[in-house]
Structure 1
């Protein structure tokens, strides 16, 4: 069983090599983290190569949660960070690894569940992936060689977590701040996308996918409570009823 120590979940998105998954597990366990989620690994799951590379951290792989997509991986989370070394056109808060883990520790101390997304080795996270996160962790690397190995990126983030975690005073969450989970935000996004599709909002067709990513990015950027989400569902339902009358 994963430990009960408050910590972020680390989500490996479409990892391509078992060895890198094992290296990520080893890096996590070096710094006391043991909540791994794996999204659609290229070479299947479980992975013998990952176990061989984990070298003592195999328990993390045994307990890792296998998910079909990012939405499922962060469904129970209230705040999600996406790691990237490349500039992005999506408008989101951007943290250094150190500041991101400070923010994560504060959120976890307040009772929130958080996760960090790590992209596949070849090209990292796509914009559609990052649109599902609330903030970006920008890793400062050599701009002439921005490629960062998956295990290295996990190690860097886990190290910053350990440096920060002991410095935060835990406190009770404000009962008025009942933040919406990833599952609730995803349902809201799907509701609006479906209705806007019906209204032919996503036009012209060649721009539809980009418009949907931007809309999803907007939802993930907003700090929404469960009450906010319920209200926004109600607003849309009422607008549709009014149009049908």
Structure 2
């Protein structure tokens, strides 16, 4: 009887030892999985006034400090995300402000917000949405984790006016399984080249794409913080927020080459 017990124990130990590499690999994989890899791509072209850029940055800071965003992260399948924040303008300018950061709770989210607060805001010419999408797609290849979803969040106040076709950049990213969402900033009336009356429609037609893609237009200064928070929450956990996620009024036609026609001319962006 005692011999049989010892044999059974030995068999269990052997089975556990045989399974341990698989268990270790599974645990390691679980540690590197996240609900979403989120690229925050923020326009700092000169068409944005300094106070608008500050409002934009502060909106992201407040979002990552907010309990609603903390709840969205916690309620995800895995309860953690990875985020990076970069500024962009012309085709040759994309600058990472906060590198890839895993956020798995309120403390990490607040630290991410503090990193944004402590870095100055750039301000350069031209608007290359295609350059921002291409750069964001490259960043998504460098996360070091296994995200369930990959998202690029583009904010800007004008059409693509430098670099390659925005539609080509968008379509290539979507073909890789990336979702592109938009935050078109529509605070000022168009005054010349680089401005657009129906920027929300342009973003819908030419910029956003992929599974679940959406946009949140900002038309008033007081909307910045709520719009950014709403957008981040939906990107993290796909939570509904119908009050701010607006459908584009699609009456007038829009050309995806609107800004690209004059990209070889000087412009104030």
Q: Fold-level match, TM-score > 0.5?
A: no
Higher strand share: 2
Q: Which TM-score band applies after superposition, normalised by the shorter structure?
A: 0.3 to 0.5
Give the TM-score normalised by the residue count of structure 1.
Answer: 0.35
